[in-house]
Structure 1
Amino acid sequence: MISELAQRLRALGHDGLLALLKNRPESVLAGARSLQRLAAVLDSPGAVESALERLDAGCHEVLRALCALGDGCTREQVEQVLGGGAELDRALRELAERFLIQLDEHGSIQLAAPLRTLRTAGLGRPIAKLLNAHASTTVRGIAEALGLERASTKADTILRIAEFVQDPAQVSATLAKAPGSTAEVAMELARDTSGAFAFPGEPTAVRWMIRRGFLISADQCRTDRGPFEMPREIGLALRESDDRATLRPPPPEPPTNVVDPAEVDKAAALAATSFVDGVARLLDHCATDPLAMLQNGGVGLRVLKQLAKVLKTDQHEIRLWLETAAAAELLSLDDAGHLVPSNLADDWQRLAPAKRYVWLGRTWWEQPAAAMFSKVVDKPGPAMLPGDSALDRALRIDLVTELAALEPGAALDEPGLLNEKLAWKRPMIYRSAADLVDPMRVNWAEAEAVGAVARDALSTLGRCLSDDQALLDAALRLLPRAEETVLLQADLSAVVAGTPSGDVTSTLNLMAEPEGRDTASTWRFSPDSVRRAMDQGYSAEDLLGRLAEISRADVPQPLEYLIKDAARRFGQLQVRSVRCCVLGDEALVLEVSRHRALRELSLRVLAPTVLASGKPPEETLTALRKAGYSPVQQADDGTVVIERAVATDDRPPVLVAQPHYLDPAPDLPDEAELREVAMHLLAQPDDVARPPVMVDLVENTPANVGRILAERAAGLSDLELELLEEALATGTDLEISYRDQRGSCTTRVITPHFIAGEYLESYCHLRDDDRQFRLDRVRAVSPLKRRPTR
């Protein structure tokens, strides 16, 4: 039979159901396939907790009052606590629209099931419930201490105590007679939002409150031992006597001024170009000078400062480039454990600037933690380590959402004034405006660095960050196109005004040394850089031909002479493996044998054209090149060994590990997807609900579990399958890497229960709820390294 809540969902119609799904998108992520299933999801603790995170401070104040008053209270009772007015009406309406409360025909307000026991107000349970578990003698002692007449039964005594504490005046009068600092301790505990206390204060004050039921022990046998709980009625009465709770209205909009949207986009385009160019320069540097990593995997402060000096920026921006490049899978680790470009870096470099920006911009948008935290820390730690907070992504999204609500070109007079509004809109996440000062400063700086914000206003790029296609269209319109030509100069330099294309960059990197990249990029040719290109098998004709293809004019004569001279000298000496021999013309060999810089090779003349070296071929080649020669290496048969550039196909990206409790929430469905879900749910008949999961006992027998896992989780190794099979048998916690339907990979700590068809039914520690995981999407399984932090 369809539930009452499911009937209410059908009565909403398409538009009403769509509005509900927008407010409660977690229900879609949970896989609701019918109205009956959607009703169950909406009323689950995990979904309600997610909904609470999106409530503003006004709704939370009303919800605290409702939880304190208890299920079935009336609007008039709420008014007695908070006062009436339009703000109360708005909060009640929003809570009802989110199915967190329901107003019945009698005017009483019913709470969603999880809220009936949730201590949202920071208050304990009702005194009757707390006393029911205690002995009759304890209950009678509390009644006598409060001056109440003795009743014939325990239940009647509890009823008289409950009636007494429901009167705030009587509670205040009783507390006024308390000795010493008891009143101050009681008021402090009443303001505490935890609702339960292990060591609540001075012994004298505690004993006085225990005797009168102001504190009740959770231990039925030893009522003088904690933890203690302050009954809901006592806490509410003390809070009312302290200061009357009032609804906080929304804070005023921060003041703005008007700027030209075209100027905003122009400044944003410059920042975005600099961001893309900075990552490109970083990759070029890592290709020639790999970055050393610390033992814990991070990049140390000394390396960051050196890199900032080389790339002519500060360490804050270096952190942003590094962590964005790593998250975009553009960096890898070489055999020595140093950072080098990954196998995707070349593909990224060959893209147009707009597409490079989309790759990086979307990566930055989805980062859980801010990279530029060093701006607000006195002693910042290394870069590329897991952050200790996932607040930044939520703040980034809310910041852009608030700015997008303003008219284009509306700039904030003081961005920090936005903290008050954000703290009011998301009190469960941001707590207070003061707590947002440093996070806002960091995220605002990053938004400016990537071009999302410019001149204190949201740019067109910032408005499109959540949409790949829209962001690409905006980037193609605003960012300059890649330069396909280069100005070759007689001083052996090459200049590209603007952003060089991937072909120009790769050609110049092949035969010249990069000198600087800013509004213009420069390279310089030298005998060593040209020789390095010839080491990879290119001839003088090849190099001159490639330069002619990208040059705006003819190749300058000095550069042509340099390349031809390098080709003439190239290969005059040959190094062959013996350990090794150096071959060449008699006069040249004699010159080399007497060269002071080559003493470390211990060269000996074997014949007029042959020298014996005491070092291996690689060291001999390096020493000869350092001395100014252009040797080539020969194979055993005398053929020239061409030194190819290091292949990157076997360099997988290096990813910064995120603890499972920092695992970013999956992307919420967009409006088109929600509209489709609403139509599908309403199309299902009421009597066709998703059947409950039936556990196939035969399938889950020990004899079959291993075979089933091997078939349905084929991507796992034998060891991972054994771990999963053992966990199913013993109920052991595991850590899994799981790829959702959108392709995003997350890490979860689970307790597997059983196999149901294609799914692994498990308890998810991150979501604090039972979840289904498709076996073919489980990418990795590992033992739990530590218990999840809650």
Structure 2
Amino acid sequence: MPATSLADWLRAESDDALAELLRTRRDLSTPPPSDTAVLATRAGTPGSVARACEDLDTFTLAVLDALLVAGADAATVPAAEVAGLVGRDVTAALAKLRARVLAWGEDGALRVPPAARDVLGPFPAGLGTPSPALAATDVEARLAEVGEDERAVLTALAAGPPIGRTRDAGVDVALSEAATPVQKLLARGLLLRRDDQTVELPRELGVLLRDGAVFDPDTLAEPELPVHPHQTDTVDAAAAGEAMELLRQVESLLRSWSQTPPPVLKAGGLGVRELKKVAKDLEVDERRATLLAELVVGAGLVADSENTVPEWVPTTLTDSWLASPSVQRWMTLAQAWLELPRLPGLAGGRDAKDKPIAPLSEELRRPLAPVARRRVLTALAELPAGSGVKGVDELVNVLAWRAPRRGGRLRDETVRWTMAEATALGLVGLGGLTTGTRLLLEDDRSGAVEAMYDALPAPVDHVLVQADLTVVAPGPLETELAAAMSAVADVESAGHATVYRVTETSVRRALDTGRTADELHALFRTKSATPVPQGLSYLIDDVARRHGRLRGGAAGSFLRCDDEALLAEVLANPVAAEYDLRMIAPTVLISSAALAEVLEALRAAGFAPAAEGPDGRVVDLRPSGRRLPGRTRSARARVGEPATLTEEQAVRIVSNLRAGDQASARRRGSTVHAPRGGGADTTATLDLLSLATLEQREVWIGFVDSRGTASQRVVRPLRVGGGVLEGADHERYPLHRITSAALVED
């Protein structure tokens, strides 16, 4: 069967097939090829072939290897020979290779791009070159004559690659004089000498040592992925619990960095000391602390202040995030993680210069990280709803089989990191995808929010006050109740049931915010499902009785009190001298220091002052934390996926390809060329186009578009004027962009 060139094969393909090729191999369309010959040339380059192989599974790559073993890069090969080398049916794999034009031709005359050998290596399937000397001999009988030491050398080379380096390669002796296994094998003709230091195992011998098979049959089948069946509700509930814990930790991190922003390292990133502090404060390990830091920065909740002394400071988006419902907060973090072009798992390792890699540093940037995450989640999405993988290592093996050439050295580790991070985010529960994550992968954001809302535990509107002044929240509290509890009590232990403790300090803090004792009594009386202990009532009343007796205002600042003896006590305290307190009236003291500083010092000295506003009411002077302007995050067309050709774009490129082919085939006669060097004289071109318009004849033109892409067209001119050629296809071609023109003979 005669060979068919790749260009001819592409010309014979349907428009739909070409459009699908351009969508599958995105690099072929940039810039748009002018005709099929250009497309074929581009598809056969090593770089393009390598990218096309990245999505091929192990079996399909084995079929491509078998084509190279059979020599399809140099001559046509029948499909039956390829199937014999692989040992099973190859119809589906050949269809996949043809769709990517990694192979073309009918089953009786298959070809592959010569660049495929450069991409897959010089030894397809790990086999060497054939040996003419062994072609007409009984290889099995000759193999039976070798000793154990010689057979060990052959077995090692048969596993691939088939070459080995040895000093014995340069020694040419007879079999009777050979002293080493390599010398004996060279003398027997069972090894080929490539140079003075390299030997090669012949292909015939390699296949024989593999028991007659080119490939190990076990490697050609996709590994099994053991799963645990679960109820969907169980998976969703388990993931929701993890999501709630993550939200609590992120909230704590944001509040901590609002008060004390950590510095940015000179080389960028978060320092070891600051990372350890986050881990200690949140009671998590450093890997979890790194993930939290990367999430808040990736979501735009924290940013580099870029000051003279840069710090990691929460942005104004933090306030709206903290005020949002739990499900919306989760969605913000989940979306940020899916689109995060970074690998947090690299933190703590070492770079090429053996220096530690810090969280939030540039060394963690990996633009293809979103694609890698989506591959993992998509693999889980293929499992039945509710099913979860039994182990991550089995998932690693499956994904490695499906795309062995994709991901580089971090391929397997990225799968493990993705599973751990997705579990922490509540996207994965019990090894399986949640309902919300499945919808999120389908770009159904509203559906994902609704599914997570159903999975999250319903907010509770009550607490349980204990006799030891602890308050138990039996679940996530309603937003207003959570804010009130945070004001009047300190978190003692967090989790699915949060335990707060009410202390004198926490009650005073609540009073500092403007709450009254009656409001605190009402809070516990109406929101506690258990009787309010008498000790708590006494504590609130006792703190309230002393709170605010001493009041301050700005003078810099002032203190006033109806109790002159209390003011005298303040003046006698060392605080008075340190903050320049002086009496201006029997009941008023003033200071040049800021009011917040004076009140803090007085509290440390044992007093219980309160700040008041111009109207005499108690005000809260506690800083809300620093903020930076929020920075808009760029939207993506699809989560974790690179930009792809739309159907309309692909159809347009194919149309131009066909036009270019037609133009190349139909050009006749002399060609008018535009002046070189950017000249503006288009008289000859204008004359030819005017003649074609007058005689209603088609004309071939060479054209350069606004992006500098050259192409060819066959156009039937309707009119020429105003520096523009208008064709019957309603396209307009500026004359200064037409590089050449010729009449087309029918």
* TM more than 0.5: yes
Quickly say closer, same or farther: Cα 1:249–1:285, change in 2 above 3 A.
same
TM-score when normalising by structure 2: 0.65
Q: Deviations over 1:378-408 (max 9, x none)?
A: x997544433878865553333223222222
Question: What SS is found at the alignment partner of 1:102?
Answer: coil
The one-letter amino acid of 2:297's match is A
Q: Is 1:593 the counterpart of 2:571 in the alignment?
A: yes
What's the offset of the Cα at 1:357? 1.6
Question: What SS is found at the alignment partner of 1:576?
Answer: coil
Name which of 554, 562, 576 aligns with 2:555: 576
Q: In the alignment, what sits opposite 1:245?
A: 214
What's the offset of the Cα at 1:55? 0.9
Q: In the alignment, what sits opposite 1:419?
A: 396
Q: In the alignment, what sits opposite 2:49?
A: 48
Q: In the alignment, what sits opposite 1:92?
A: 94
Q: Distance in 2 between matches of 1:550 and 1:355?
A: 31
Tell me if the contact between 1:576 and 1:633 (Cα under 8 Å) persists in the aligned partners: no
Tell me if the contact between 1:365 and 1:393 (Cα under 8 Å) persists in the aligned partners: yes
Q: In the alignment, what sits opposite 1:259?
A: 230
Question: What SS is found at the alignment partner of 2:90?
Answer: helix
Q: Distance in 2 between matches of 1:348 and 1:264?
A: 26
Q: In the alignment, what sits opposite 2:299?
A: 328
Q: Is 1:285 the counterpart of 2:246 in the alignment?
A: no
What's the offset of the Cα at 1:608? 5.8
Name which of 323, 335, 343 aligns with 1:362: 335
Q: Is 1:61 the counterpart of 2:62 in the alignment?
A: yes
The one-letter amino acid of 2:96's match is E
Q: In the alignment, what sits opposite 2:380?
A: 403
Q: How does 1:486-497 map to 2 (within 5 A)?
A: 487=463, 497=474
Q: Deviations over 1:120-168 (max 9, x none)?
A: 34579xx9xxxxxxxxxxxxxxxxxxxxxxxxxxxxxxxxx99958959
Percent of aligned positions that are identical: 24
Q: In the alignment, what sits opposite 2:641?
A: 667
Q: Distance in 2 between matches of 1:668 and 1:622?
A: 54
Q: Is 1:687 the counterpart of 2:659 in the alignment?
A: yes
Tell me if the contact between 2:78 and 2:109 (Cα under 8 Å) persists in the aligned partners: no
Quickly say closer, same or farther: Cα 1:444–1:76, change in 2 above 3 A.
same
Q: Is 1:101 the counterpart of 2:88 in the alignment?
A: no
Q: Distance in 2 between matches of 1:280 and 1:518?
A: 13
Q: Distance in 2 between matches of 1:10 and 1:501?
A: 66
What's the offset of the Cα at 1:677? 4.3
The one-letter amino acid of 1:71's match is D
Q: Which moved more, 1:416-425 or 1:241-250?
A: 241-250
Structure 1: runs of 5+ lacking an equivalent: 128-160, 217-223, 656-663, 700-754, 762-790
Q: How does 1:175-324 map to 2 (within 5 A)?
A: 201-203=165-167, 205=169, 214-215=193-194, 236=203, 239-240=206-207, 243=210, 245-246=214-215, 248-291=219-262, 296-299=267-270, 303-324=274-295
Tell me if the contact between 1:329 and 1:654 (Cα under 8 Å) persists in the aligned partners: yes
Q: Deviations over 1:634-677 (max 9, x none)?
A: 99xx999985745755356799xxxxxxxx9972458xx75444
- Number of residues paired by the alignment? 628
Tell me if the contact between 1:268 and 1:453 (Cα under 8 Å) persists in the aligned partners: yes
Q: Is 1:625 the counterpart of 2:626 in the alignment?
A: no
Q: Distance in 2 between matches of 1:616 and 1:690?
A: 83
Question: What SS is found at the alignment partner of 1:332?
Answer: strand
Quickly say closer, same or farther: Cα 1:583–1:552, change in 2 above 3 A.
closer
Q: In the alignment, what sits opposite 2:316?
A: 343
Q: In the alignment, what sits opposite 1:452?
A: 427
The one-letter amino acid of 2:566's match is L
Q: Distance in 2 between matches of 1:690 and 1:558?
A: 95
Q: Distance in 2 between matches of 1:317 and 1:608?
A: 57
Quickly say closer, same or farther: Cα 1:431–1:547, change in 2 above 3 A.
same
Q: How does 1:356-755 map to 2 (within 5 A)?
A: 356-368=329-341, 370-371=343-344, 382-385=358-361, 386-387=363-364, 396-429=373-406, 440-466=415-441, 467-469=443-445, 470-480=447-457, 487=463, 497-500=474-477, 513-521=490-498, 539-540=514-515, 565=545, 568-569=548-549, 572-574=551-553, 576-577=555-556, 586-595=564-573, 601=579, 619-627=597-605, 628-630=607-609, 632=611, 643=621, 645-646=623-624, 650-651=628-629, 667-668=641-642, 674-681=646-653, 686-687=658-659
Q: Distance in 2 between matches of 1:273 and 1:696?
A: 68
Q: Bigger radius of gyration, 1 or 2?
A: 2
Tell me if the contact between 1:391 and 1:429 (Cα under 8 Å) persists in the aligned partners: no
The one-letter amino acid of 1:624's match is L
Pairwise CA RMSD: 6.0
Q: Deviations over 1:569-619 (max 9, x none)?
A: 36x244634xx8867664333211223576755767788667687977665
Q: Distance in 2 between matches of 1:695 and 1:474?
A: 66
The one-letter amino acid of 1:400's match is L
What's the offset of the Cα at 1:102? 0.6
Q: Which moved more, 1:452-461 or 1:94-103?
A: 452-461
Tell me if the contact between 2:347 and 2:364 (Cα under 8 Å) persists in the aligned partners: no
Tell me if the contact between 2:341 and 2:365 (Cα under 8 Å) persists in the aligned partners: no
Q: Distance in 1 between matches of 2:487 and 2:39?
A: 60
Q: In the alignment, what sits opposite 1:353?
A: 326
Q: In the alignment, what sits opposite 1:8?
A: 10
Structure 2: runs of 5+ lacking an equivalent: 173-181, 665-673, 680-703, 711-746
Q: Deviations over 1:536-568 (max 9, x none)?
A: xx6457995999899759999779858965773
Tell me if the contact between 2:66 and 2:124 (Cα under 8 Å) persists in the aligned partners: no
Q: In the alignment, what sits opposite 1:744?
A: none
Q: Distance in 1 between matches of 2:215 and 2:297?
A: 48
Q: In the alignment, what sits opposite 1:120?
A: 121
Quickly say closer, same or farther: Cα 1:561–1:303, change in 2 above 3 A.
same
Quickly say closer, same or farther: Cα 1:545–1:513, change in 2 above 3 A.
closer
Quickly say closer, same or farther: Cα 1:81–1:519, change in 2 above 3 A.
closer
Question: What SS is found at the alignment partner of 1:83?
Answer: helix
Quickly say closer, same or farther: Cα 1:493–1:597, change in 2 above 3 A.
farther
Q: Deviations over 1:506-563 (max 9, x none)?
A: 566567655554324566666766776787xx64579959998997599997798589
TM-score when normalising by structure 1: 0.62
The one-letter amino acid of 1:96's match is R
Quickly say closer, same or farther: Cα 1:756–1:415, change in 2 above 3 A.
same
Quickly say closer, same or farther: Cα 1:270–1:375, change in 2 above 3 A.
farther
Question: What SS is found at the alignment partner of 1:251?
Answer: coil
The one-letter amino acid of 2:315's match is S
The one-letter amino acid of 2:169's match is A
Quickly say closer, same or farther: Cα 1:640–1:551, change in 2 above 3 A.
closer
Question: What SS is found at the alignment partner of 2:335?
Answer: helix
Tell me if the contact between 1:621 and 1:631 (Cα under 8 Å) persists in the aligned partners: yes
Tell me if the contact between 2:83 and 2:89 (Cα under 8 Å) persists in the aligned partners: no
Question: What SS is found at the alignment partner of 2:214?
Answer: coil
What's the offset of the Cα at 1:250? 1.3
Q: Distance in 1 between matches of 2:525 and 2:659?
A: 70
Q: Distance in 2 between matches of 1:654 and 1:171?
A: 70
Question: What SS is found at the alignment partner of 1:48?
Answer: helix
